[in-house]
């Protein structure tokens, strides 16, 4: 189990051993978001910008304009909201290769509360031109993600959860099946892929064959490749650590795929709260059992109704 922010900080520090143009800027959260690993190894190329996200992104854009490769760390809520105009004008519109590493993305902020929660970051970042959106699910994904972004030399946003995560297995790729494709699929990214795998296991135990399609890169997507991956699928349940509006289901719907797409996401009238992750997930039926119940109900099955009828 590892915090993916730490994995990202470690990988960027490794790249920087032979690349003097690599810099890291942090919004005074290096001990939480993973930037401290880079800071310990490359103190001369680390900037603690303080609680000043707008200035931090502007400085990063300036560094990129001078030929350097800045990586900016903070919590997703602060990067995407407080510095959005600077990302829009100084990074997106100028095509500068600034990379934003956003920790604590999604709905599970634990004791931090709703001010640290962001449920619409994909919607914000995927609608900016020239900005990639990534959501790794484990160490291998995170290393793959960092290497792909570094090689592409484009602006990117990497959304990471607060909690440490285990491996999901298999070889990292932008999009991949976790298991054999079949008629039903759960589509997911990042943390929600772990929820999807657990829910799929419950459904298979009860006779419903379903596979998980994991997206490490959420945006942009190759429409033809996605269509090919989903060619055998009749119905896809998009499990999102995000609001339904503007999230991964919205992106898939925009591709005009010939299948039914259902979003399982955080409710649009909820802005986050403090609480243990599993307790919050259960509250909104996004824990594995709740997800399995919702999918079963959507398929018209009564397999789970006797177990938890209040959730159906």
pLDDT at 174 over 70: yes
Average pLDDT, the chain: 94
Domain with CATH 3.40.50.920 in the chain: 175-306
- Tens of pLDDT, residue by residue over 41-77, are 999 999 999 999 999 999 999 999 999 999 999 999 9
- pTM of the predicted structure, to 2 decimals: 0.94
The long-range contacts involving 277-285, CB below 8 angstroms and separated by at least 24 positions, are 277/108, 277/110, 277/163, 280/107, 280/108, 281/108, 281/195, 285/311
Say what percent of the chain tops pLDDT 90. Answer: 91
- Tens of pLDDT, residue by residue over 118-134, are 999 999 999 999 999 99
- Region 9-15: mean pLDDT is 98
CA distance 196 to 187: 8
- Region 152-167: mean pLDDT is 96
- Tens of pLDDT, residue by residue over 196-229, are 999 999 999 999 999 999 999 999 999 999 999 9
Taking residue 201's Cβ as centre, other Cβ atoms within 10 Å add up to 14
Say what percent of the chain tops pLDDT 70. Answer: 96
Q: Which band of pLDDT confidence, cut at 50, 70 and 90, is reported for residue 256?
A: very high
- Region 250-271: mean pLDDT is 96
Q: What is the structure's pLDDT at 27? A: 95
Domain with CATH 3.40.50.970 in the chain: 4-159
Please name which of 118, 122, 57, 119 lies closest in space to residue 92, comparing C-alpha atoms: 57
Written as six digits, the tokens of 287 are 């824990």
CATH number for domain 4-159, candidates 3.90.550.10, 3.40.50.970, 3.40.50.720, 1.10.3720.10: 3.40.50.970
The CATH number of 175-306 is 3.40.50.920
Q: Which band of pLDDT confidence, cut at 50, 70 and 90, is reported for residue 312?
A: very low
């Amino acid at each position: 189990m590892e915090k993916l922010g730490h994995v990202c900080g470690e990988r960027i520090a490794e790249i920087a051993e032979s690349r003097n143009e690599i810099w890291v800027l942090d919004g005074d959260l290096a001990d939480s978001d993973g930037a401290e690993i880079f800071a310990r190894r490359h103190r001369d190329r680390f900037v603690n910008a303080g609680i000043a996200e707008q200035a931090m992104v502007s400085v990063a854009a300036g560094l990129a304009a001078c030929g350097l490769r800045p990586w900016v760390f903070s919590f997703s809520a602060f990067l995407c909201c407080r510095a959005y105009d600077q990302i829009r004008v100084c990074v997106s519109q100028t095509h500068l290769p600034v990379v934003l590493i956003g920790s604590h993305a999604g709905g599970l902020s634990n004791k931090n509360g709703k001010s640290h929660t962001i449920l619409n970051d994909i919607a914000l970042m995927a609608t900016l031109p020239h900005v990639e959106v990534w959501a790794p699910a484990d160490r291998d994904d995170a290393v793959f993600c960092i290497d792909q972004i570094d090689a592409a030399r484009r602006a990117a946003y990497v959304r990471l959860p607060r909690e440490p995560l285990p491996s999901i297995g298999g070889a990292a790729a932008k999009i991949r099946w976790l298991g054999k494709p079949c008629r039903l699929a759960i589509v997911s990214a990042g943390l929600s892929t772990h929820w999807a795998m657990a829910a799929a296991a419950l459904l298979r135990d009860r006779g419903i064959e379903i596979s998980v399609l994991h997206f490490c890169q959420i945006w942009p997507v190759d429409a033809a490749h996605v269509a090919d991956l989903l060619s055998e699928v009749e119905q896809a349940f998009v499990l999102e650590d995000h609001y339904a509006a503007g999230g991964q289901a919205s992106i898939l719907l925009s591709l005009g795929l010939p299948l039914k797409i259902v979003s399982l996401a955080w409710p649009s009238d909820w802005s986050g709260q403090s609480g243990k992750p599993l307790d919050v997930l259960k509250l909104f039926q996004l824990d594995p059992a709740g997800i399995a119940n919702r999918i079963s109900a959507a398929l018209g099955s009564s397999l789970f109704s006797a177990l938890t009828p209040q959730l159906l």
